[in-house]
Amino acid sequence: MKIVKSVAELRALPESRSVGFVPTMGALHDGHLSLVRKARAENERVVVSIFVNPAQFNDPEDLRRYPRPIEKDLAMLARENTDVAFLPIHDEIYGDRFRFEVREKEFTKMLCGATRPGHFEGVLTVVMKLFCLVRPTRAYFGEKDFQQLSLIRDMAKSFFLGVDVIGVPTVREADGLAMSSRNLLLKSEEREIAPRLYQIIKTAADAGVARRELSTLGFRVDYVEDVAGRRFAAAFLGSVRLIDNVEL
């Protein structure tokens, strides 16, 4: 596995027939690896980026404490036969000092976008930059972040990027909790009730019932909403924000 940091090194890679790209923020788990495995099965070259993108954090404390176990991540990627681990340099990615950004005016205002101002602009902008650098044939995103997947798919279409955006089902712990790098930050008593988020949004008669059940259990509910045949939810346990979604 080649570890690439600079844009110059990335550009110097030989051409490949097909490039499968998996953008991540690291602290990798089996959810990320299911994307890497699908990319591995479908492409000649697999590129995985690890970049904790400051532009998508609306809370500085969330950015500060985001886990960064880089050596462990690299070992996991090597085991999956990743060809290139791309660890971009902040000042190269944001050489424009955030002057330019990608904006979307409808879906980014809903769900996670309603309470995390600037979050999706940060996501769309960094993904656009990474697509321009990596020039993937296919890019893989998890359904765990379904709103993100949908926005990136629409962005690729709207700007004729020629990238096939592929969604991958959510990978869960045995108790149903969606795997997430932020799960590492849950206290043990929070970790015990965390799986209820999935169970409740899956079984509640409507979004209002789900909100009430979650609040009763001690979740601080950000939202539970049914949109276009899916139920989306975000809720805090202590200071950790969990998200999930299910098909209705």
CB of 77 to ligand AMP, least distance (A): 13
Three-state SS at 226: strand
Please identify the residue of the shown chain whose CB is closest to the bound ligand AMP: 142
Tokens encoding 129: 């930059």
Beta strand 230-237 with 138-142 is unpaired
Burial class of residue 188 (count of CB atoms within 10 Å of its CB; 0-12, 13-18, 19+): exposed
Contact 222, 244 (CB under 8 A): no
Question: CA nearest 81: which of 29, 45, 28?
Answer: 45
CB-wise, 33 or 210, nearer to ligand AMP?
33
The single-letter code of the amino acid at 214 is L
CB-wise, 112 or 215, nearer to ligand AMP?
112
| Neighbour order of strands in the sheet with 220-227 | 220-227, 230-237, 240-247
CB of 121 to ligand AMP, least distance (A): 15
Exposure letters 138-170 (e unless 16+ CB within 10 A, then b)? bbbbbbbbbbbbbbbbebbeeeebebebbbbeb
Beta strand 240-247 with 230-237 is antiparallel
CB of 142 to ligand AMP, least distance (A): 2
CB-wise, 69 or 212, nearer to ligand AMP?
69
DSSP 14: P
CB of 14 to ligand AMP, least distance (A): 26
CB-wise, 35 or 242, nearer to ligand AMP?
35
CB of 100 to ligand AMP, least distance (A): 21
CB-wise, 202 or 212, nearer to ligand AMP?
202
- CA 37/CA 16 separation, integer angstroms: 18
Active site residue 90: no
Q: Applying CB under 6 A, which residues contact ligand AMP?
A: 24-25, 31-32, 34-35, 141-142, 144-145, 168, 170-171, 178-181
Tokens encoding 196: 């209820």
Q: Which residues are catalytic?
A: 32
